[in-house]
Amino acid sequence: MGSKPSCSIALIQLLTVVYLLCQCFAVKVDADQNATLAVDVSDASGTPIPKTFYGIFFEEINHAGAGGLWAELVSNRGFEAGGPNIPSNIDPWAIIGNELTIYVSTDRTSCFERNKLAVRLEVLCDSEGDNICPADGVGIYNPGFWGMNIEQGKKYKVIFYVRSTGAINLKVSLTDSSGVVKIASTDIKASASDVSNWTKVETLLEANQTNHNARLQFTTTSKGVIWLDQVSAMPTDTYKGHGFRSDLAQMVADIKPSFMRFPGGCFVEGEWLRNAFRWKETVGPWEERPGHFGDVWMYWTDDGLGYFEFLQLAEDLGTLPIWVFNNGISHNDEVDPSAILPFVQEALDGIEFARGDPTSKWGRFRAAMGHPEPFNLKYVAIGNEDCGKKNYQGNYLRFYNAIKSAYPDIQIISNCDASSRPLSHPADFYDYHVYTNANDMFSRAQVFKGASRDGGPKAFVSEYAVTGKDAGTGSLLAAIAEAGFLVGLEKNSDIVHMISYAPLFVNTNDRRWNPDAIVFNSFQSYGTPSYWVQRFFSESSGATLLNSSLQTTTSSLVASAISWQDSADQKNYIRIKVVNFGSTSVNLKISIGGLDLNSVGLGGATKTVLTSANVMDENSFSQPKKVAPMQSALQTAGKDMNVTLPPHSFSSFDILKISNNLEMPGSDSLTRSSI
C-alpha cells in the first residue's frame, strides 16, 4: 500500500517540472518576439502626403464652445435661454434678495429686434425709510458656466445694456460663489435722463485675487426699476485677442492642424430644422445675435462663437476652414428638393461672406466686422451624416451644381461613404465616420487598402474614435488602437487626404459624449491619450511617405515612415512610427536603406513612447500626464538600429538627416520637443 503514494508523488513532481519548463519557454518566446522594419529613404521611394492630411473637427457638444473655447464668462447673457415668451426662465441667473426687497421678471422691451427679452429688476427696498435694503444691496448674479475662472492681476471687460425709470447707483462686482468676498467691483452711477433709454455701459475690472468658482453680480440699494440686457464678461487676454480661451486654443494649436472642420456634426443638423445652426443668425454684433437652442446636445448657445469667429479661429491657427452647412435635413424633418433653393442661397451667401470682395453684399458685411480680407475657404461639406435619408441625393445635387457654378474651385464633401463602392453623385471628397471598439479600430488600419484609386473622390475620415467600454473616458487602449488605425491611413494617404478625431472638447460638467480629446473645467485642462496620439501625426501633413516593409510574426504590429522638414529648425528628419497593440514586448530591428552616402548621413535620434502600466489608464486633472509621451535620446543612430517596443505602446523614432558636406557638431545626439 505504501509504494503507490510514493509513485504518485514522483509523477506529480515530474509533471510540475515539465509545466514550469513549458511556462519558462513560453515566457522566453514572448520576450524574444522579433520583427524587422526596412525603410527606404531614397528620393525615388517617397510619395507626397497631402498638406491637408491631419486636422481637427470642432463641434458644439459637451459645452465645447459655450463655456469652453469661447471665453465668454456669462451664461445666458441675453436672458433668451428660457424662450422668447414671458415670463422666461433666466437660469442660471439668480436673485440676490427676497420678495420683500426685489421683484425680478422678464419682458419684451429690449432694444434688439432679434432678441427682445430683457430682465426687469423692481427694487422694493431703499437706503432709507421703512424698508431698508441689505448693506450689500439686492440684485441678480450669474455663476457663469459652472463657475467663472477669475485670476489675480488679470483684467475682465464687462459690457451690459441698462435703462431705468430713475437715477441708478449700480455696483458691478466679481465675487466668490457666496457673493461675500469681492474680487473686483465698480460703481455705475447715472442720472435718470442718462438711462431713460437703453444705454451701453463698458467697464474694466481687475481681480485682486484668484477664484476658480466666481460669479458676476449687479446690486443696488436704491429703490426703482432697472432693466438689464446683453451682459458680457470676457478676459482681456484671449488667444490672439479674438475671444478664444488661451489655454484651450493653445492645446489645439499644438496639434498643428492643417484644417478645421466646423461647427458640427449633429449640431449642424438639429433634432428639428428650427434648431439647426444657421450661419446668418450668428454674425454681426454679438448683442444682436438671437442665439439658439441646440436640441441635439440640449443646451442654449448665445452664438458668440459664430460663423465669423470659426473662420477667424481657423485663420489664427493657420489652418484651412472646412464649413459644414445644413442641407435642409435634420434628424426628424427634411426639406424637399423642390423647396430647397432658399437653403442653397444661404450656402452661397455664406461662401460669399467668407470669400467675397469687400464690395459684394456679404463681403461688405464681413468687412464691417473688421475683416476686409477674404478668408481662405476652399472646402465645404453638404450636410452631416445625411446619406441615405430620403431627400439627401436630390438636395445634394442642387447644392453641388449651384456651388460649382459660382465657385468652381470649392472642394465639395459628400456625406456618402465611397470606401467600398462608388458614389452615385459627383464629389471631391467623401466622408468616412467610425466609432467602434479597440480591436475593430485597430483592424481598420487596412480598410482603405482596397479602396478605388480610379481618380474619383478622395476620402475624408472626418470623425473617428474608439468608444464604449474600451474607451472609458479616455484610455490608453483606445489611443493605441486609434494610433494603429492612423498609421494605416498614413500608408494609404494617396486616397485618404484628411483625418480628424471627434469630439475635440468636453467640459467635465456637461459630458454628453465619451471619450473626448481635450478635457477641461473653468480653469484646468488636459489631453487624453487620444490627444497625444494626434500630436504624433502633427508633422505628417505635407510630408513624404517613405516605402517601408514590416516583417513580423504578429498581427499586432503596424508601422509607417515619413521624411519631413521641421519648420522651427529647418532641418530634415525621418520619423518612424510603430504601434504595438499586443500584450508582449517586441524587439524591432530598423534597417534604413536608400541613403546616398556621398551626400547624406544620419545624425542624432530620439525615441518618443506612449504607454502605461495598464491599458485602461487615463489622465485626469490630478494626473494630467499619467499617460503622455516620454522622450529620450537614442544612443546610436545609423542604418541599423535595434529597439524594444513595450506592450500596448505607440513609439516614434525621429532621426536627423545631415549633409556629409557639413560638419555637424554634436550630431550624435538630438533632443526635440515636437510631441
**Of 272, 285, 248, 250, nearest to 145 (Cα)?**
248
For the ranges 288-302, 328-342, 646-660, the lowest mean pLDDT is seen at 646-660
Helices first, then strands: H and E counts in the chain: 10, 35
The confidence score (pLDDT) of residue 512 equals 95
Alpha-carbon distances, residue 456 vs 236, 364, 420, 452 (angstroms) = 48, 37, 13, 8
List, for residues 142-190, the tens digit of each pLDDT value: 999 999 999 999 999 999 999 999 999 999 999 999 999 999 999 999 9
CB contact at 8 A, 262 and 324: yes
Triad 321, 575, 553: Cα angle to 5°: 115
d(CA 675, CA 669): 17
Share of the chain above pLDDT 70, in %: 92
d(CA 84, CA 447): 49
How far from the centroid of its chain's Cα atoms is residue 313's Cα? Answer: 12
d(CA 475, CA 642): 29
Which residue matches cell numbers 499619467?
626
| DSSP 8-state assignment for residue 288 | G
List, for residues 227-261, the tens digit of each pLDDT value: 999 999 999 999 999 999 999 999 999 999 999 99
How far from the centroid of its chain's Cα atoms is residue 663's Cα? Answer: 43
List, for residues 397-454, the tens digit of each pLDDT value: 999 999 999 999 999 999 999 999 999 999 999 999 999 999 999 999 999 998 888 8
CB contact at 8 A, 74 and 232: yes
- What is the largest distance, in Å, between two alpha-carbon atoms of the chain? 117
User: What pTM value is reported for the model?
Assistant: 0.92
Triad 104, 105, 108: Cα angle to 5°: 145
